[in-house]
Copies of this chain bind each other. A is one copy, B any other.
């Protein structure tokens, strides 16, 4: 558990037995404390240990090519994985969902990028692109945003904006929203839809639930150290680093998801308010009892949200 002195709360009876089990089980990703003010070498060691732990879970995932065909391309040395479900044609007619992986803006790179996305990608009526964007400690901001923006631009070369959606969970939600803000600033057409799942849209961690749910969320504590590492010499509250503080007017229809134990509950509901105030069509889901990241993907509750995200994308991508 994080440093908060409060005792953990028992799983509520109001969620499925499967979800209760997830809350009751200890995290598989505890590889010791983050470096407090470590060197790049220490950070890289921590990142590698965390990624190894993630690989123990997601590295097992694969699908036969006829279920999920995987290819890849590069832009300036940065890989984007292309995941095409077997039921989606390969003739350029299918929409593209550009997904940015999570992992606190420091984890989840390499093969993990597509591995963490595959389980959802295989269900979609679209092709999923997942970019292995550059990350700190070696590549602080704006490397990741540059890479994600380049991927989005490439998608617009292959499809009309009405056939492209952006999606990201956690840190991926940060990048998806930042890509839209930057596209606005640069006059690039905006995507047809945006999906932000429990998004890390405020690197200053100023929201209410960064305090009230610290220690209640069993999977996530403060990422202040990583956020500084990511920002480098840039201000944490710049809209490209904390999209919550950007001008979201004109954003495409957006789907937001969080949970009652999610450290990013405030992030999500504040983003909801920003989008509402800007007149953007927006959907909000707050999962009962759910921590950051929902219940890990395999519970009935996760399935309900996944189905809603699917329907949302289908609707706005004209599927």
A12-B207, A207-B12 are contacts. A272–B286 as well, Cβ < 8 Å? yes
Q: Is A164 an interface residue (CB 8 A)?
A: no
Q: Measured between alpha carbons, how far is A212 from B11 in the docked complex, in Å?
A: 10
A286 contact from B12, B13, B269, Cβ within 8 A: B269
**Binary interface encoding of chain A residues 203-218 relative to chain B, with 1 for a CB under 8 A from any of its CBs, else 0:** 0001111011100100
Residues of the B chain whose Cβ atoms lie less than 8 Å from the Cβ of A39: none
Q: Is A288 an interface residue (CB 8 A)?
A: yes
Min CB distance A51 to B, Å, is: 31
Contacting pair A206 B286 (CB below 8 A): no
Q: Measured between alpha carbons, how far is A152 from B220 in the docked complex, in Å?
A: 47
**Binary interface encoding of chain A residues 228-271 relative to chain B, with 1 for a CB under 8 A from any of its CBs, else 0:** 00000000000000000000000000000000110001100110
Q: Is A287 an interface residue (CB 8 A)?
A: yes
Contacting pair B10 A211 (CB below 8 A): yes
Min CB distance A265 to B, Å, is: 6
Q: Is A1 an interface residue (CB 8 A)?
A: no
Residues of the B chain whose Cβ atoms lie less than 8 Å from the Cβ of A206: 12-14
Task: Give the nearest-CB partner of A286 in chain B.
Answer: B269
Task: Give the nearest-CB partner of A268 in chain B.
Answer: B286
Min CB distance A280 to B, Å, is: 14
Min CB distance A252 to B, Å, is: 19
Contacting pair B260 A14 (CB below 8 A): no
Q: Measured between alpha carbons, how far is A25 from B162 in the docked complex, in Å?
A: 50
Q: Is A53 an interface residue (CB 8 A)?
A: no
Min CB distance A259 to B, Å, is: 9
Q: Measured between alpha carbons, how far is A10 from B276 in the docked complex, in Å?
A: 27
Contacting pair B14 A208 (CB below 8 A): yes
Contacting pair B288 A15 (CB below 8 A): no
Q: Is A284 an interface residue (CB 8 A)?
A: yes
Q: Measured between alpha carbons, how far is A206 from B13 in the docked complex, in Å?
A: 7
Q: Is A109 an interface residue (CB 8 A)?
A: no
Contacting pair A288 B208 (CB below 8 A): yes
Q: Measured between alpha carbons, how far is A152 from B208 in the docked complex, in Å?
A: 39
Q: Is A73 an interface residue (CB 8 A)?
A: no
Q: Measured between alpha carbons, how far is A12 from B286 in the docked complex, in Å?
A: 20
A273-B288, A286-B286 are contacts. A261–B14 as well, Cβ < 8 Å? no
Contacting pair A261 B12 (CB below 8 A): no
Contacting pair A270 B6 (CB below 8 A): no
Residues of the B chain whose Cβ atoms lie less than 8 Å from the Cβ of A12: 206-208, 211, 266
Contacting pair A286 B284 (CB below 8 A): yes
Q: Is A63 an interface residue (CB 8 A)?
A: no
Query: A-B pairs with the 5 shortest C-beta distances?
Result: A269-B286, A12-B208, A208-B289, A208-B260, A14-B206
List 21 interface pairs A-B (beta carbons < 8 Å), by A numbering.
Answer: A9-B211, A9-B212, A12-B208, A12-B211, A12-B266, A13-B206, A14-B266, A207-B260, A208-B261, A208-B288, A212-B216, A212-B260, A212-B261, A260-B266, A265-B286, A266-B288, A266-B289, A269-B286, A269-B287, A272-B286, A277-B304
